[in-house]
Structure 1
Amino acid sequence: MMTTYKADIVPLNADKIGTAAHGTARLELTDTELTINIEMFDTPANIEHWEHFHGFPDGQDAQIATAAQDANGDGFVDLMETESVSGTTMVPFDDAPEHMDIPHDRYPVADADGHFAYTKVVPVNELQDNFAQAFGSRDLQLDKRVIYIHGVPAGLDLPDSVAGMVGMFDAHVTLPIAVGKIKRVD
């Protein structure tokens, strides 16, 4: 049996980054595989874009961040400001989501038009095992999660108040540019 989920991914921080990133995601879950398809348009061109699903480990229903989450009033909704409504970063959409290895440089790169398409088939048991180690439950609860797309050019002027340092990656890498609520469709 397959369960299908979708997310309409809408712009975040568009007025500050100069482009309105948007797209769609489709996730198909069976007993053995999670197939992830994400297509994005109008992202900052020619750079890598981190993408993940975020949520609350306790199963609280995550919501998308909006301009209302700009707690410090700097005009940007940074990664830390999304946590109150969206929870924490959980599963990366990278070259091996099942490993749940977040900070690295193995995410999709947008083309010169700001487009990228991402498809990955993930072994669900390995993902659930690693998810349980990190969050205490094997249940991915996809319909309680949100998808974030991150990343702006290194040359974009960001105020010092924009937080987002993850290891050696600064706020240019982690700044959210689009977000979508995952919904079950069947």
Structure 2
Amino acid sequence: MTKYKAEIVPLNDNKIGTSAHGTATFVEESDQLTITIEMFDTPANTEHWEHFHGFPDGKPADIATAAQDANHDGFVDLMETEAVSGTTMVPFDDAPENMDIPHDRYPVSDDNGHFSYTKVVPLSKLQANFEAAFGSKDLQLDQRVIYIHGVPQSLDLPTTVAGMVGDFDAHVTLPIAVGKIKRVD
């Protein structure tokens, strides 16, 4: 059994009015990956996309901070995270092993901005799809970061905030929290 954990800290909290935070754990055992994420103080009653991001070549990913606000609009948008965090890799949705990212099957926070997510994933299927997408079946979780995304449509975002993915705009993709995944023994 191999365990990983991420302490998830706020990002863009000075602009979105909440300081989203929580934890994520990943447990690899036999052919299963158990993913558990618990978040607090996210924007209430909002769907929250969540993924791990990283570099396909295995280079260690780092969390984005306000320093990544390249266009100085006060927001660190999805595109601005890529330089330090890499690309979106695996979603934490209803079926992470399928690696189907743009859709509306992610957790929704309650009236208090809380949500809890647990999923047991067939590791071999996830690894096969990961290899097809990124050239290696090694997830290298300790080289990745987790992002939580999503703010209400009512939040006024400047046009400089990028993040359109398919039919989903920057309200869906704006990062609200991030954590470095570390192996725990």
Question: 1:30 deviation in Å?
Answer: 1.8
1:153 has 2:152 as partner = yes
| 2:127 alignment partner, SS class | helix
Paired residues for 1:18-29 under 5 Å: 18-29=17-28
Paired residues for 1:68-147 under 5 Å: 68-147=67-146
Partner letter of residue 167 of structure 1?
A: G
Partner letter of residue 46 of structure 1?
A: N
| 1:35 alignment partner, SS class | strand
1:32 has 2:25 as partner = no
In structure 2, distance between residues paired with 1:116 and 1:18: 18
What corresponds to 2:57 in structure 1? 58
Partner letter of residue 43 of structure 1?
A: T
Question: 1:160 deviation in Å?
Answer: 0.3
In structure 1, distance between residues paired with 2:95 and 2:123: 12
TM-score scaled by length of structure 1: 0.99
What corresponds to 1:163 in structure 2? 162
Q: List 4+ stretches of structure 1 deviating above 3 A.
A: none
Any unmatched runs of 5+ in structure 1? none
In structure 1, distance between residues paired with 2:109 and 2:5: 21
Any unmatched runs of 5+ in structure 2? none
Residue identity over aligned pairs, in percent, reads 79
In structure 2, distance between residues paired with 1:106 and 1:119: 14
Question: 1:141 deviation in Å?
Answer: 0.1
